[in-house]
Chain A
Amino acid sequence: AQTIHQWPVAEIKAVGSPLSLGCTIKGKSSPNLYWYWQATGGTLQQLFYSITVGQVESVVQLNLSASRPKDDQFILSTEKLLLSHSGFYLCAWSLGGSSAETLYFGSGTRLTVL
């Protein structure tokens, strides 16, 4: 069975500090990977997606970056956090190959920027 693990579960960070969030998928080779962001009380926005190692496409510009250093790993980062980065970050995977694919989400990371 496939599992998706996100870390950390929660972070409290200062404005201007760096950030790194991670996501690992086990039990599925070459999945499509996604980062979503959910502002408090808001809907989800797709931030990045990746269909293969080393390739990441940006969907929304939020002064964040993403990388896929391994087939099963997806990293979201920034060098300088803004207050507006607060929210819930969700990593997801899909089998790929079609926009009808089901997304399988991790449990998320709650980020508070002070």
Chain B
Amino acid sequence: AQSVTQPDARVTVSEGASLQLRCKYSYSGTPYLFWYVQYPRQGLQLLLKYYSGDPVVQGVNGFEAEFIKSNSSFHLRKASVHWSDSAVYFCAVSPQGGSNAKLTFGKGTKLSVKS
């Protein structure tokens, strides 16, 4: 079975600063990896996903993530955050194969951006 660990429940950064949100996964094979964002009182939206090829994937709004298989990590980065990036960010893993998008989510990291 797969699992996801997001070690930081809360992160606070200043507007314009760089950001890294950490994610480590546990899965015996090569998984599909996702980052979703949840704005207050809303559902989740996909930021980016990795399923093969270049380990650095670009997402929406300037976000990117790097898949490092040797470290079982998929950290999310952004060069310069904006106040509107304040939200909860979820890392998720899905096993390859099958017709069910059986995502396993981490507990999420709440990002607060100070202006």
Q: What is the minimal beta-carbon distance from A38 to any residue of chain B, in angstroms?
A: 9
B74 to chain A, nearest CB (A): 14
Q: Cβ of B99 and Cβ of A32 under 8 Å apart? A: yes
- Chain B residues contacting A94 (CB-CB under 8 Å) are 101
Whether A90 lies near B51 (C-beta < 8 A) is no
A105 touches B45 (CB 8 A): yes
B57 sits at the interface (CB 8 A): no
Assess the A46–B99 pair: CB atoms within 8 A.
Answer: no
8 Å CB interface, B87-111 against A = 90, 94-103, 105-108
Size class of the B contact interface (CB-based, 8 Å): 20 to 34
Contact of B108 among A43, A97, A102, A104 (CB under 8 A): A43
Contact present for B107 and A42 (CB under 8 Å): yes
B-facing residues in A54-110 (Cβ within 8 Å): 57, 59, 90, 92, 94, 96-108
Question: Considering the chains assembled together, what is the distance between the CA atoms of A59 and B102 in angstroms?
Answer: 9
Residues on A with beta carbons closer than 8 Å to the beta carbon of B43: 90, 92, 105-108
A43 touches B107 (CB 8 A): yes
In which size bucket is the chain A interface? 20 to 34
**Which residues of B come within 8 Å of A, CB atoms?**
32, 34, 36, 41-46, 49, 51, 90, 94-103, 105-108
What are 17 pairs between A and B in contact, CB < 8 Å?
A: A32-B100, A43-B105, A46-B102, A49-B100, A59-B102, A94-B101, A98-B98, A99-B95, A99-B96, A99-B99, A99-B100, A99-B101, A99-B102, A103-B101, A105-B43, A107-B41, A108-B43
Q: Name A's B-contacting residues (CB within 8 A).
A: 32, 34, 42-46, 49, 51, 57, 59, 90, 92, 94, 96-108
